[in-house]
């Protein structure tokens, strides 16, 4: 229920969407440890990554729900976020390259 309600379709605010993601991930971990016995302990690091204080990006939240929601309603947002993330990484690499070149001028 939390996963489906947290998609924002019901007009939830930003914090409720993050809270639903945290609760859903906690429950997933609890089931793996307690019922399925597929892991020995809870993965608290991953749970904490979704904490409000860590302020997950919109793309992180869309990715979280996209991976867990069988409907295709988040597909467009997910693809847009992936594209923006790749562009951002490309710009970051370009900036690092420029800084590296500025620090190491060519020999004359």
CA dist 63 and 45 (Å) reads 17
Quote the CA–CA distance of 12 and 53 in Å, as a whole number. 19
Q: What is the pLDDT of residue 90?
A: 83
8 dihedral zone (left: phi>0; alpha: psi -120 to 50; beta):
left
pLDDT single digits (tens) 12-67: 566 778 888 888 889 999 999 999 999 999 999 888 877 755 677 778 888 888 88
Residue 25: strand, helix, or coil:
helix
Q: Which two tokens stand for residue 39?
A: 């892991």
């Amino acid at each position: 229920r939390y996963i489906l309600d947290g998609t924002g379709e019901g007009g939830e605010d930003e914090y409720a969407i993050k809270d639903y993601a945290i609760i859903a991930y906690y429950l997933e971990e609890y089931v793996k440890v307690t019922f399925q016995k597929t892991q020995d302990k809870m993965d608290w690091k991953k749970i904490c990554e979704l904490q409000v204080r860590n302020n997950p990006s919109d793309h992180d939240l869309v990715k979280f729900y996209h991976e867990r929601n069988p409907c295709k309603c988040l597909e467009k947002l997910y693809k847009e976020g992936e594209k923006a993330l790749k562009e951002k990484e490309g710009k970051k690499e370009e900036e690092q390259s420029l800084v590296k070149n500025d620090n190491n001028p060519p020999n004359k």
